[in-house]
């Protein structure tokens, strides 16, 4: 009986290119092509089986439809938790003109307003407020706004017969106020593409409010601690 090596031996040396391993043959031959019995190494097979075994529970856990498990959901949750943390610092804001003015001059809070804007407003007003369906928010002309407080009113109730949606039931109070301040802050910036001005030119926004801990100048009775003792 011939050994494998002999069975496998080429007819002439010329027919063989390169080195022929002396592994055993399986005994199959297809059109004269023979197959070595040369299985994949055990470690490779176990990695393959292991990755299949890992994939099934992984898929079930992350993509089985349970709430809050995908990377996306967890990112959103982390963002929301972060905004909640930040909001704890300012508490529930007052939904009024003064608060909108106050936060117009607080750049770190404007960034929170910006995240609200990015999520809810850019589809109509453009990423940098240049205007798409909605008007350009960077120019000096406004359709529904005469005073900065009107921005908040437009956000709360919408405008243009619903073309600008009402947000009071969709955003929290703090989100509304900070988005209003952010929208106001876009005025005077230069967007990539700017829509034609719409509406009328209005007076500049009010200046930054005076800090509370600053001692007011002048001699008005209100600022005196040792007042006249009226109770």
Contacts with ligand HEC by CB under 6 A lie at: 117, 120-121, 123-125, 133-135, 137, 142-145, 151, 154-155, 159-160, 163-165, 167, 179, 183, 198-199
> Which residue is at the shortest CB distance from ligand HEC?
160
Pick between residue 104 and residue 121 the one whose CB is nearest to ligand HEC: 121
Cβ within 8 Å of residue 193, ≥6 positions away: 126, 130
Do 138 and 128 touch, CB atoms closer than 8 A? yes
What is the Cα–Cα distance from 175 to 114, expressed in whole angstroms? 10
Min separation Cβ 182 and ligand HEC, Å: 7
Min separation Cβ 147 and ligand HEC, Å: 12
Using CA atoms, how far residue 16 sits from 13, 19, 41, 209, in Å, is: 6, 8, 26, 90
Min separation Cβ 194 and ligand HEC, Å: 13
Pick between residue 24 and residue 197 the one whose CB is nearest to ligand HEC: 197
Pick between residue 25 and residue 83 the one whose CB is nearest to ligand HEC: 83
Min separation Cβ 203 and ligand HEC, Å: 14
Pick between residue 65 and residue 204 the one whose CB is nearest to ligand HEC: 204
The whole-angstrom distance between residue 170's C-alpha and the CA centroid of its chain comes to 18
Locate 99 and state its tokens.
């608060």
Pick between residue 165 and residue 206 the one whose CB is nearest to ligand HEC: 165
Cβ within 8 Å of residue 72, ≥6 positions away: none
Q: What are phi and psi of 200, to 5 degrees?
A: -110, 150
Cβ within 8 Å of residue 28, ≥6 positions away: 34, 35
């Amino acid at each position: 009986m011939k050994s494998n090596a002999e069975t496998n031996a080429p007819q002439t040396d010329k027919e063989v290119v390169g080195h022929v391993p002396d592994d055993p043959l399986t005994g199959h031959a297809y059109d004269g092509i023979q197959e070595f019995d040369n299985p994949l190494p055990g470690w490779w097979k176990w990695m393959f089986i292991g990755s299949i075994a890992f994939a099934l529970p992984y898929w079930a856990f992350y993509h089985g439809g349970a709430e809050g498990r995908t990377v996306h959901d967890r990112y959103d949750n982390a963002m929301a938790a972060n905004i909640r943390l930040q909001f704890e610092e300012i508490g529930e804001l007052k939904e009024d003109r003064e608060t909108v003015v106050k936060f117009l001059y607080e750049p770190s809070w404007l960034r929170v307003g910006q995240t609200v804007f990015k999520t809810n407003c850019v589809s109509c007003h453009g990423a940098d407020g240049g205007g798409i369906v909605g008007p350009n928010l960077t120019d000096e002309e406004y359709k529904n706004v005469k005073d900065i407080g009107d921005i908040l009113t437009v956000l709360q109730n919408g405008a243009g017969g619903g073309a600008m949606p009402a947000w009071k039931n969709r955003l929290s109070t703090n989100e509304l106020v900070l988005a209003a301040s952010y929208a106001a802050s876009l005025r005077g910036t230069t967007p990539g593409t700017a829509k034609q001005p719409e509406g009328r030119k209005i007076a500049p926004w009010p200046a930054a409010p005076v800090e509370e801990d600053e001692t007011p100048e002048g001699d008005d009775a209100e600022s005196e601690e040792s007042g006249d003792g009226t109770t």
